[in-house]
């Protein structure tokens, strides 16, 4: 007779965590590929930098994802959000390509992949709880929005290295926090988990590219 037993609570939790993690990484991979496609289209179109409109559209799309994350429409809005953010990379990448600094783009991509994999592996292997970073992330998000608005009226280019350095720390903390939330059951929705990790990767890439560009100059 086959051996039958009831799964314990830790086993159920482990299976649930593994499923969410698998779905999250699968969706994250698809959104990164989709972003690469929209970034390429943006570059070919020579699309202009959208400025403050980027923040407004980003917040609107993020709100749509949050409202629909428990339905199939959540997937539609995830691809709308990540496709838009990929599109906004076009003008940035064209700037570096036009300046003959395409190598910096490759370097930033490599560093982004290395940092993401290292942080994710650390969180998954050690299973350390990084929920204490929530306050830092909330304050960081408020500061980022404030700086974005301030940049409309004041030239902040003199502080670009400090701002980009701070953004790299923010993005790294976001990746640790989001991965830890999946591991410890604080995040049970793979759509919102994907968005959190994607935003971390996007921010890492953009601001590592900025730092490399500043150091190259």
Residue range 129-182, pLDDT digits in tens: 999 999 999 998 888 888 888 877 888 777 888 889 999 999 999 999 999 999
Domain residue ranges of the chain, discontinuous segments joined by +: 10-216
Would you tell me how many other CB atoms lie within 10 Å of the CB of residue 43? Answer: 17
Q: Is the per-residue pLDDT at 1 higher than 70?
A: no
Q: pLDDT band for 14, please (50, 70, 90 cuts).
A: low
Q: Which residues contact 41 (CB under 8 A, 6 or more apart)?
A: 87, 90
Residue range 51-89, pLDDT digits in tens: 878 889 999 999 999 999 999 999 999 999 999 999 999
- Would you state the pLDDT for residue 216? 76
Q: Is the per-residue pLDDT at 13 higher than 50?
A: no
Give 181 or 6, the one with higher predicted confidence. Answer: 181
pTM, 2 dp: 0.88
Query: Given phi > 0 = left and psi -120 to 50 = alpha, else beta, which region is 20?
Result: alpha
CA atoms within 13 A on the CB side of 22: 6
Contact of 211 with 171, CB cutoff 8 Å:
no
Average pLDDT rounded to a whole number, residues 27-37: 96
**What tokens were used for 170?**
């923010």
Q: Is the per-residue pLDDT at 189 higher than 70?
A: yes
Q: pLDDT band for 7, please (50, 70, 90 cuts).
A: very low
- Would you state the pLDDT for residue 217? 66
Cα gap 71→75, rounded to integer Å:
8
Residue 95, phi then psi, degrees to nearest 5: -60, -45
H or E element that contains 62: helix 52-68
| Rounded percentage of the chain residues whose pLDDT exceeds 70 | 92
Q: Which of 216, 210, 208, 193 is nearest to 65 (CA)?
A: 193
Residue 113, phi then psi, degrees to nearest 5: -60, -40
- Would you state the pLDDT for residue 100? 87
| 104 to 59, 72, 92, 187: CA distances (angstroms) | 29, 38, 12, 35
Q: Which of 142, 145, 144 is nearest to 164 (CA)?
A: 144
Contact of 182 with 21, CB cutoff 8 Å:
yes
- Would you state the pLDDT for residue 6? 41
């Amino acid at each position: 007779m086959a051996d039958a037993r009831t799964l314990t609570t830790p086993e159920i939790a482990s299976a649930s965590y593994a499923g969410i993690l698998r779905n999250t990484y699968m969706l994250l991979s698809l959104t990164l590929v989709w972003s690469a496609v929209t970034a390429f289209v943006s570059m070919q179109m020579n699309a202009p930098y959208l400025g403050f409109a980027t923040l407004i559209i980003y917040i609107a799309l993020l709100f749509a994802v949050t409202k629909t994350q428990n339905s199939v429409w959540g997937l539609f809005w995830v691809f709308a959000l990540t496709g838009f953010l990929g599109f906004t990379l076009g003008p940035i990448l064209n700037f570096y390509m036009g300046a003959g600094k395409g190598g910096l783009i490759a370097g930033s991509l490599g560093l982004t992949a290395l940092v993401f994999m290292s942080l994710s592996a650390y969180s998954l292997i050690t299973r350390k709880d990084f929920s204490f970073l929530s306050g830092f992330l909330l304050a960081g998000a408020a500061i980022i929005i404030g700086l974005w608005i301030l940049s409309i009226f004041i030239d902040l280019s003199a502080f670009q290295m400090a701002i980009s350095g701070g953004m790299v720390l923010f993005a790294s903390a976001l990746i640790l926090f989001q991965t830890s939330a999946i591991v410890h059951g604080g995040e049970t929705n793979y759509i919102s988990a994907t968005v959190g990790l994607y935003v971390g990767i996007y921010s890492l890439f953009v601001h590592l590219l900025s730092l490399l560009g500043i150091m190259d100059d």
